[in-house]
Structures are given as C-alpha cells and as structure tokens.
Amino acid sequence: MTQHWQLAILGAGVMGETVLSGLLRAGWDAGKITVTDRRPERQLELQQKYGVVVLDNAEAAAAADTVILVVKPQDMNDLLTEIAGAIRPETLVVSLAAGVDTAAMESQLPSGTPVVRVMPNTPAQVDEGMAAISPGSHAQAEHLDRVSDILSATGRVITLPERYQDAVTAISGTGPAYLFFVVEAMIEAGVHLGLPRDTSTELVVQTMLGSAKLLRETGEHPTVLRERVTSPGGTTAAAVRQLEEHRVRAAFMVAMEAARDRSRALAEAARLDRERRQAASEADR
Ligand SMILES: NC(=O)C1=CN([C@@H]2O[C@H](COP(=O)(O)OP(=O)(O)OC[C@H]3O[C@@H](n4cnc5c(N)ncnc54)[C@H](O)[C@@H]3O)[C@@H](O)[C@H]2O)C=CC1
Ligand SMILES: O=C(O)[C@@H]1CCC=N1
C-alpha cells in the first residue's frame, strides 16, 4: 500500500495506540507518523515500543497533512485551542471522540478546515474494527477516502450522516463492552455450574467467536440461528425463557439509550465549556 500522508495522532491512550499500531501492522512507515500525549511516561513508552517520533501537539499538527484527535471529549476544547494556529488550509482534521460534533470542531478551527468525525472500536486491535465516518461541512470525497484508507487498515469502515453518530457510539463504539460483559457473566455462570475457570473461559470465548463467524458467514438473521439451537422442550428454550423473564432484551434497549444519551450529554458539556471560555475571554478584554 502506498502512503501519501504525514499523520499526527494527538492523544495516544487506548484508542490512539489502537490506530497507531494498526497502521504500522498494515505497513505504514513509522517515519510518517508522529504522536503526542500529555503524559511523559506514555510518550517514552510509545517511542520505545513503536519507534515513532513524539512531538508536542502544535508541532505535530503543523507538520502533518492529517491530524487525528484521540483525546477524551472533555479534553477536546483544550486540544483544539492548542492546535488551531498550526492548522493549514489543506490540513485534514479527524476526530475519534464520542459526542463532539463536527460543527463544534469547525467553530474552533480556521474557517474552511475539513473535519471528519469517526466512531471506531477496540476490535481494531486485531484488525476486526468497525468504524463509522461522517463528513463535516468542508470535508470532500477525497477527505473521506483518506480517512477510510487509514481506518480500513484495521477493519471495516462505513460512511454515515453525522446525525447517526450518537447511535453508532451506543452500538459499535461501546458494543465490545456489552459483549465482554456477557462473556464475563457466562464464564462466571460456568464456574457456578462446577467447571474449572479456564475450561469455562475456553468454552465461552470459542462459542462467542464461532457464533460471530456463523452470523457473518451465513448472513442469516440471529433469530433463525437461535431457533436452530432451540430444540422443542430442550435446554435452550429453558434458558431463553429465563433471559426473557429477567428482561435482558429490555435491559439492552435502555443500556444503549443511556449510551446514546451520554454521547449527546458529552457534546452539550463541551458546548457549555466553550461558552464559558468565550465569556471569560470577552470579560478579560
Ligand atoms: N476506548 C474505546 O473503546 C473508544 C474510544 N473512543 C474515543 O477515543 C478517545 C480516547 O479514548 P481512550 O483512548 O479510551 O482514552 P485514554 O484516556 O486511554 O486516552 C486519551 C489519551 O489522551 C491523552 N491526552 C489528554 N489530553 C491531551 C492533550 N491535550 N494532548 C495530548 N494528549 C492528551 C491522555 O494522556 C491519554 O493518553 C475518546 O474521545 C473516546 O470517546 C472512541 C471509540 C472507542
Ligand atoms: O466509553 C466511551 O465513552 C468511549 C466511546 C465509545 C467507547 N468508549
């Protein structure tokens, strides 16, 4: 694969490292990727582990064609303030933060800056990621192609209107955690049923992987696949009845609504923070 851009990954925690390591696995040149992190011990770790250059945010942004922001939503206003002066007209700004909308980012960047919002997920660490990308008002097809190229190094990429991003965050962004939660619960239940923990873990993890492959490779509806496991009057029917009686389906519905609402609330908190800063800076003048 040919790499055309100089990338800067600003904020290299869990998700920033996921992007960085995925690009290097896919053959991107470490010399064309710079990273930043505000924690000195993390900077050292990234330098030693990946051989990438660590800079400060403004330096990294100034040297890059594509700047990928991977800090928490709560840290985004500070970061945008720090880099705004370093963004050139042709720089593409990409945000992986939950909640923060492209209009909010655009308002803190030089006018006309192309911005693309992404919701990735951690299975990208094993090249099975799911990322949804949405253009801001100045992003063109070539910018979406560039972001798609970067993220397709570690999994699937779809383009969606930005209004879906809070729901996407609740499904594929947060989703791995729900599935790990189910796995934890099943392993624990296996131990309660008398299995050694490592045996229970192996049974559950392979069942999860096999079920995911069955869904993907057959393309069958999950209801059909579940019905095929459910023998009349058998064990599955007994278990699923308990899941329904314990309202597990309803719990997923409200849990995912809560994730969507939290994504919206993060955006609102960022907006209030910007307004407070603006009012404070006007009062100082
Ligand atoms: N962890 C996940 O599964 C997913 C995370 N995201 C998004 O990715 C973003 C990062 O999340 P995580 O990696 O989980 O958090 P994290 O806390 O592991 O990483 C954030 C990193 O940013 C650094 N940082 C904070 N402010 C900075 C600044 N001004 N300059 C440079 N570095 C700075 C921190 O030191 C930290 O290493 C969030 O906005 C989150 O919504 C999106 C999808 C999935
Ligand atoms: O928990 C969070 O806020 C981030 C966004 C999606 C997954 N993790």
* pLDDT at residue 200 in the model: 98
How far apart are the CA of 230 and the centre of ligand 1, in A?
A: 42
Secondary element (H or E) of residue 7: strand 7-10
Domain map (residue ranges) of the chain:
7-161, 175-246
* pLDDT at residue 40 in the model: 97
Give me 90's structure tokens: 């042709």
The CA–CA distances, whole Å, from 245 to 172, 188, 239, 250 equal: 26, 20, 10, 10
131-188 residue pLDDT tens: 999 999 999 999 999 999 999 999 999 999 999 999 999 999 999 999 999 999 999 9
Please report which ligand is nearest the Cα atom of 75: 1
Residues β-bridged to residue 35: 9, 54
Which CATH topology does 175-246 take?
ProC C-terminal domain-like fold (1.10.3730)
Q: Whose CA is nearest to atom 1 of ligand 2?
A: 174
Domain spanning 7-161: which CATH class is it, in words? alpha beta
Residues β-bridged to residue 118: 133
187-229 residue pLDDT tens: 999 999 999 999 999 999 999 999 999 999 999 999 999 999 9
CB-based contacts of 65, cutoff 8 Å, min separation 6 = 4, 5, 6, 7, 90, 91, 92
* pLDDT at residue 3 in the model: 56
| Prediction pTM value | 0.96
The complex scores an ipTM of 0.99
Q: Do domains 7-161 and 175-246 have the same CATH topology?
A: no
How far apart are the CA of 154 and the centre of ligand 1, in A?
A: 18
Residue 212: strand, helix, or coil: helix
* pLDDT at residue 23 in the model: 97
State yes or no: pLDDT of 1 exceeds 80: no
Q: Whose CA is nearest to atom 16 of ligand 1?
A: 13
Dihedral of alpha carbons 136, 140, 141, 142, sign = negative
174 in ligand 2 pocket by Cβ < 6 Å? yes
Burial class (CB in 10 A: 0-12, 13-18, 19+), 66: buried
Dihedral of alpha carbons 193, 194, 197, 199, sign = negative
* pLDDT at residue 4 in the model: 64
Give dist(CA 285, CA 105) in Å, integer.
Answer: 24
* pLDDT at residue 163 in the model: 97
How far apart are the CA of 69 and the centre of ligand 1, in A?
A: 8
Burial class (CB in 10 A: 0-12, 13-18, 19+), 31: exposed
Give dist(CA 43, CA 62) in Å, integer.
Answer: 19
Please report which ligand is nearest the Cα atom of 10: 1
18 in ligand 2 pocket by Cβ < 6 Å? no
87-145 residue pLDDT tens: 999 999 999 999 999 999 999 999 999 999 999 999 999 999 999 999 999 999 999 99
More confident residue, 281 or 158: 158
State yes or no: pLDDT of 270 exceeds 80: yes
